[in-house]
Structure 1
Amino acid sequence: MARDMSDKEILKMELDQLKKEVSTARTPVTANCAETISFVEGLAPNDPLIKGVPDDKNPYKGDKGGSWLVIWAGGTYWYLFGKPSPFSLESVRPPGPREYDQKKRDKVIKQGFSLDKVPQNLDVIVIGSGIGGLTVGATLAKAGKKVLVLEQHDQAGGCCHTYIEKGFEFDVGLHYIGQLHENSLLRISFDQISEGQLEFQQLNQHFDTIYIGTGDEKREYTIFSGKTDMKAHLMKQFPDDTEAIETFFKIMKISAKKTHYLATLKLIPQWVSLFLLKSGIADLFSPVFRLSGTGATEFVNTLTTNKDLHVIFSYLFYGVPPKDSSILINSLLIHHYKRGAYYPKGGASEIAFHIIRTIQKYGGNCLVRAPVSQILVNDKGAAYGVKVRKGQEEVNIHAPVVISNCGIFTTFQKLLPPEIRVKPDIQERLDMMKHGRGSFLVFSGFEGTQEELGLESTNFWLFKNNDMDKSMDDFFALGKEEAPDNIPMMFITMPSAKDPEAKKRHPGKSCMTILTMVNYEWFEEWKDTTVRKRGDEYYNYKMRFANNLFDWACTLFPKIKDKLVFQDVATPLTNMHYLGAQRGAMYSSEHNLDRFHAEAVARNRCNTPVKNLYISGQDVFSNGIAGALHGGLLCASTVLDHIVYIDLLLLKKKLKRTKARELAQLAKKKLQ
């Protein structure tokens, strides 16, 4: 869809076409890869682009035809299947007993940096231990690479880490994950990088509640998981908008089934991707290339005038108003939970704990308190290692491949040598992105069980009105002093109510995390102060936000006010210190509409203008835990020059066949 398209009739025409294409959408990832790879190796013999070419000049005709076809087929097969897979069913074992001993856990997730812990003959250095860094690290380790992951914080995991204070354990970034049902691609991915050691608890079918308005004007809507239940339940709540909901769910289906086309743009040569897009050939494969560049508000305006339903279609906020966000991303976020919402048993830190052990199993390591100060680049423009600050000194560590999982701005603006940062191709990549909004979190601990306090595993999304575009624009335009008293939306999650083992680890205690988005500039004056020593003005200012958010939460959970015994607040400056998040943006670079136009997707890839330097995580494709994990898989595919998704899909088919055989044998026994 054209970037400047605004005509509603044209939008409706496009929408009608999308509806037709839903029923005819085809091709799994493997077929798509074969089709796109054919453009690398050569056009297919019957392609219309070469019809009419004289036989003596057509390599597919005459005596040469057979040999060219064999070379093309052989090259395609080798590219897709000729390299050993890092994944196998045999590497997955039954989950072991949960490790509750914090000292033993700390030896894995809090192993401090020293030179004697650095493996010899490194193949890969990964900067940052968020899920994107750990995913690419574990995948490369299983492919035979010796990997070192370096983390600036004192605990590995990035947004997947938890912290314990006064007997309360809080998740800082992982609140729930979707698409972890049996034999899903994401579940298989987690099983492979943890070798089967991660277990997930499925949350209640009613996983989200949305409140719009305040006081007597407050409306409540509930979101249910389930292949058919999600849509049916929403239609019950909006009986006059069933057609709009039906169409939106068709868009969700297209987005979910065809997003791999966008990912493929990053895996094939860039000139091929751009040729497919600019020529219009890509649009013949799928409408997903137009959807990715279509604004959410612009699109839903063609479906319904119901502003409450507009909120439902975009309620999973990540700092970007719906008018500036992609309908593809917003619909993907909702579809993500269609088959259920899940939470890691044992807490979010289980993810880092088990993936690091996979990296260690294959000769690698993950070390914390290891801030990288610079990426080493030789006179030929190739990365060959990093400098790590150790006290007052800097230590050089060498490896032929360097992967950054700390965001494109930190990587290009802070870690590259000054003479490399200013190069036009580096600036061009930076110009494609904008800084994301800062995150603000309130961590509250209560004496009492979830039953006593009325807490539940369901998440709550609160909006003061149903015009998300206006309320977000107005809020972010406020000055520093006005902002704390005019917060338009927030998210509430209760990790202690989600993890069935929380009662064993922290009996008699409950906790809640509240999140909203803020401007970094409101806190910027304290950027040069030290964490936990920023002064009374800073404390009083952040508590104005925290108190307003907590009071709003108390309107839903009145019992918590008198049971509050601990409270901690994280501002964008906190996120910068502990997470290494540039300007406190936990979702990394802004996920705006410009970023998701198909051509921008094709250009924003894992490899960088610096040879041997790669990018992983949320800045590669999309936000959240699943988005960052896929960023890691895309990065591993790029480094290995091998599409690991094909290996995952082959495992998925094997598991499906195994399950079918087991069911057949079970049915046979019942008949005997």
Structure 2
Amino acid sequence: MWLLAFLVWFLSWAGGMYWYLCGRPSPFSEDCVKPAGPMELNQKKRDKLLKQGEWMMSLSMHWLIYQKSKMPLKRLHYVGQLHENSLFKIIFDQITEGQLEFAELDQHFDTVVIGTGKETREYTICSGKTEMEEHLKKQFPDDTEAIEEFFKIMKLSARKTPYLAALKLIPEWLALFLVRSGLANLYSSAFQLLSMNATDLVEKLTSNKDLQVIFAYYFYGTPPRDSSSLINALMLHHFKRGAYYPKGGASEIPYHITKVIQKYGGNVLVRAPVSQILVDSQGAAYGVAVKKGKEEIEVRAPVVISNCGIFNTFKRLLPPEIQVKPEIQKRLDMVRPGKGSLLLFSGFDGTAEELGISAVSRWVFKNNDMDAMLVLMQFFFYHIEGFSVSKILGKEEAPENIPMMFVTFPSPKDPMSQIRHPGKSCMTILTMVNYEWFEEWKDTPVKRRGADYVEYKNRFAKHLFDWACVLYPKLREKLVFQDVATPLTNNFYLGSYRGAIYSTDHNLDRYHMDIMAKNRCETPVKNLYVSGQDMFSCGIIGALHGGLMCASRVLGRMVYIDLLVLKKKLKKRKALELAALTEKKLQ
């Protein structure tokens, strides 16, 4: 009897897998990727594609993407894990048909600067499967065991990350059973790392405060004491096999994706802000209301996917009577707003050689206590468990006392930069700030917020630029342009809730396993799904994971499996091509 039951189960499982893998067409294809064509350098032609607003034609499309700002573009500093036949390389090739090219940066891609004046220490970060670890050991010879252990944790985190995604893709009741029964923790230590704070982890590994900074230097607004050790380990591991930058700049990403969207019957519209998600009397989403000038146009659709974040989706776009529903409030209570950011953009009349700059980015810290620095910048709703702080930066003292910054030069990273903009260079500086410092101007019109707002944000700009000039003395004399983006700027152009470019806060509460299982792409509103950074983690790869998980739910199939099958096919094809080439050489 048991044997018969097992046989029936096995045949059902095998039949289901065969139907899944062979009975339905995969959304991905080996043949869609073609050799990259010549780069389009004509800005008018690029704008024609990237800045479309042709409404009557677009409303008849099979699917649409609406964008509030003038261009469907997100800032990108660099991205990792794009080596040959990596999963992310395959994904980018699929969604751009191989037309998006990336330039690999030099092995030394980051420098961590700690301290000021004579107390300044610099540590270089190099990519490489084994070189990253060995290079750190040379700089911290007394902490080789700590570095070895941290790299083991990095490797474990990367290998077991699919389990975290699985929590959001398997049925919720099953995910919660695995979490609450303790079976998930027994199955993999990755789940324990997920809920362990980064400070506790690094303090167990080493007492060297500088090395502790290295283990957690990718700041995204959450103090290490309140962030997940697994997510922090993934941040560094992401660049272990190299750092990459899109040839032609970040705008190449939406440019080529938009082409593929149009090829398959869709379109991307800019200057088309969604004002409301339409919900019928049965509580199901059936489209969106989109602003066209002073009018609002209803666009109906069987499925609505929101990529503008949980807070924007649930607190701004849903009808008021839906927002107050308990199930919506429960989803909002799972997360809290992320920290705002301020960016300084500078343009220079000079090449990288003339300015003394390179593609290497610098993460700069005034001291080696990241928890204290980030807590110093917290506001009233940020409470760091077990951490006491005697001082919080006030609005007036903040501009001259920012404790950390990220300095990067996009132009030296892009091999097309001097072709498109000969003799010019640019720099971006990013730091984290409180939204509350700028809140008094939130209702003023963009570019007309008043002299006091301009004066206030320029105080940040001066401090950050002066600090950068200590590292790069030749910048000041070649400066020709400067602009500052505050949390209000991010909110207006990117729709970032409270100006948080990394979306909801990436704190330990968000990565509690119970919350991970519940915070999924489906929403309490039928036919409405959420995607992006709020589903997994921050950055372009975190958003990409959010998109893949959302696609899996909407399509009713695990697109990750499709990608892994494709990865295996491509690896086999590559091996056959190399074998054929070797045989030809031997003849």
TM-score range, shorter chain: over 0.9
Aligned to 1:110, which of 51, 72, 85? 51
Alignment check: 8 A CA contact 2:58 2:64 kept: no
Match of 2:71 in 1: 155
Note closer, same or farther for the CA distance 1:555–1:79 as it changes in structure 2 (3 Å cut). Answer: same
Cα distance per residue 1:306-361 (max 9 Å; x no partner): 00001000101000000000011111010000000000001100000000110100
Say if 2:532 is the partner of 1:617: yes
Match of 2:320? Answer: 418
Distance 1:650 1:550 in 2: 48
Q: 1:456 to 1:62 in 2, by over 3 A?
A: closer
Indicate how the Cα distance of structure 1 residues 76 and 282 shifts in structure 2: closer, same or farther if over 3 A, else same.
farther
Deviation at 1:413, TM superposition (A): 0.3
Mapping of residues 174-253 of structure 1, within 5 Å: 174-253=76-155
Match of 1:436 in 2: 338
Residue matched to 2:32: 91
For 2:146 and 2:6, the matched residues in 1 are separated by 51
Residue 119, structure 1, aligned to residue 60, structure 2: yes
Partner Cα distance (1:206, 1:348) in 2 = 21
* Secondary structure in structure 1 of the residue aligned to 2:98: coil
Q: 2:490 aligns to what?
A: 575
In the alignment, what sits opposite 1:522?
Answer: 437
What SS does the aligned partner of 1:455 have? coil
> What is the identity percentage for the equivalent residue pairs of Structure 1 and Structure 2?
66
Match of 2:42 among 98, 101, 113: 101
Output one character per residue of 1:579-619: Cα deviation in whole Å (capped at 9) or x when no partner: 11010000000011111122211111101000100001101
Is 485-494 or 590-599 further displaced after alignment? 590-599
Please give the alpha-carbon distance, in whole angstroms, between the structure 1 residues aligned to 2:60 and 2:110: 45
> Contact 1:290–1:598 at 8 Å: present in 2 too?
no
Match of 1:262 among 156, 159, 164: 164
Size of the alignment, in residue pairs? 574
Distance in 2 between the 1:119 and 1:643 partners? 29
1:20 corresponds to which residue?
A: none
C-alpha displacement at 1:71, in angstroms?
A: 2.4
Q: Distance in 1 between matches of 2:106 and 2:26?
A: 36
* Cα 1:330/1:65, change in 2 over 3 Å: closer
Please tell me the residue identity of whatever aligns with 2:36: P
For residues 284 and 666 of structure 1, the distance between their equivalents in structure 2, rounded to whole angstroms, comes to 47
Q: Distance in 1 between matches of 2:496 and 2:11?
A: 49
Shift in Å at residue 81 of structure 1? Answer: 5.7
CA contact (8 A) 1:119 1:364 kept: no
Task: Kindly report the root-mean-square deviation, in angstroms, between the aligned alpha carbons of the 2 structures.
Answer: 1.2
In the alignment, which of 494, 514, 518 is matched to residue 603 of structure 1? 518
For the residues of structure 2 that align with 1:78 and 1:632, how far apart are their CA atoms?
24
Separation (CA, whole Å) in 1 of partners of 2:186 and 2:360: 41
Give the drift of 1:379.
1.0
Q: Distance between the aligned counterparts of 1:66 and 1:92, measured in 2?
A: 41
Match in the other structure for 2:384 = none
The answer to whether the 8 A contact 2:168-2:516 is kept is yes
Contact 2:377 2:434 in 1 (8 A): no
Q: Do the aligned residues in 1 keep the contact of 2:278 with 2:318 (CA within 8 Å)?
A: yes
Match of 1:652 among 561, 567, 579: 567
Distance 2:60 2:208 in 1: 59
Compute the TM-score of the two structures, normalised by the length of structure 2: 0.96
Q: Does residue 386 of structure 1 match 2:262?
A: no
Contact map agreement 2:361 2:406 (CA 8 A) in 1: yes
Structure 1 unaligned blocks of 5 or more? 1-54, 56-60, 121-145, 160-172
Letter in 2 for 1:85: S
Secondary structure of the structure 2 residue equivalent to 1:594: coil
Partner of residue 396 from structure 1, selected from 293, 298, 319: 298
Q: Show the counterpart of 1:638.
A: 553
CA contact (8 A) 1:92 1:196 kept: yes
Deviations 1:81-127 (A, max 9, x none): 6432110011111111101111111111110252332234xxxxxxx
Distance 2:500 2:266 in 1: 29
* Structure 2 counterpart of 1:164: none
1:553 positional shift: 0.1
How far apart, in 1, do the equivalents of 2:287 and 2:171 lie?
26
Deviates more, 1:370-379 or 1:69-78: 69-78
SS of residue paired to 2:277: strand
| Matched residue SS, 1:384 | strand
1:409-440 Cα offsets, whole Å, 9 max, x none, are 00000100111000111000000011001110
Q: Is the 8 A contact 1:118 1:365 kept in 2?
A: no
Residue of structure 1 equivalent to 2:389: none
Structure 1: how far apart are the matches of 2:251 and 2:228? 31
State the 1:630 CA deviation.
1.2
Mapped to 2, the partners of 1:337 and 1:396 lie a distance apart of 44
Letter in 2 for 1:626: I
| Aligned 8 A contact 1:494 1:513 in 2 | yes
Q: CA deviation at 1:79?
A: 4.8
Amino acid across the alignment from 2:108 = H
What's the CA shift string for 1:213-272, capped at 9, x where partnerless? 000000010000000000000000000000000000000001111101000111110001
Amino acid aligned to 1:369:
R
Structure 1 residues 545 and 266, CA, compared in 2 at 3 Å: closer, same or farther?
Answer: same
**Aligned-partner residue type, residue 83 of structure 1:** R
Deviation of residue 283 (structure 1)?
2.4
Give the counterpart letter for 2:322 in structure 1: I
Matched with 1:335 is 237
Partners of 1:219 and 1:269 in 2: how far apart?
Answer: 50
Distance 1:593 1:82, change over 3 A: farther
Contact 1:178 1:342 in 2 (8 A): yes
For the 8 Å contact 1:462–1:491, the answer to whether it is kept is yes
Q: Distance in 2 between matches of 1:394 and 1:419?
A: 20
Cα distance between partner residues in 2 of 1:241 and 1:193: 43
Q: Alignment partner for residue 402 of structure 2, among 472, 487, 512?
A: 487
Q: How far apart, CA to CA, are the structure 2 residues paired with 1:495 and 1:386?
A: 36
SS of 1:484's equivalent in the other structure is coil
2:234 is equivalent to residue 311 of structure 1: no
Distance in structure 1 (CA, Å) of the matches to 2:200 and 2:19: 44
1:286-301 matched pairs, under 5 angstroms: 286-301=188-203
2:385 counterpart residue number:
none
* Cα shift at 1:654: 1.1
Aligned to 1:627: 542
Distance (whole Å) between structure 2 residues aligned to residue 604 and residue 427 of structure 1: 12
Structure 2: give runs of 5+ residues left out of the alignment: 379-391
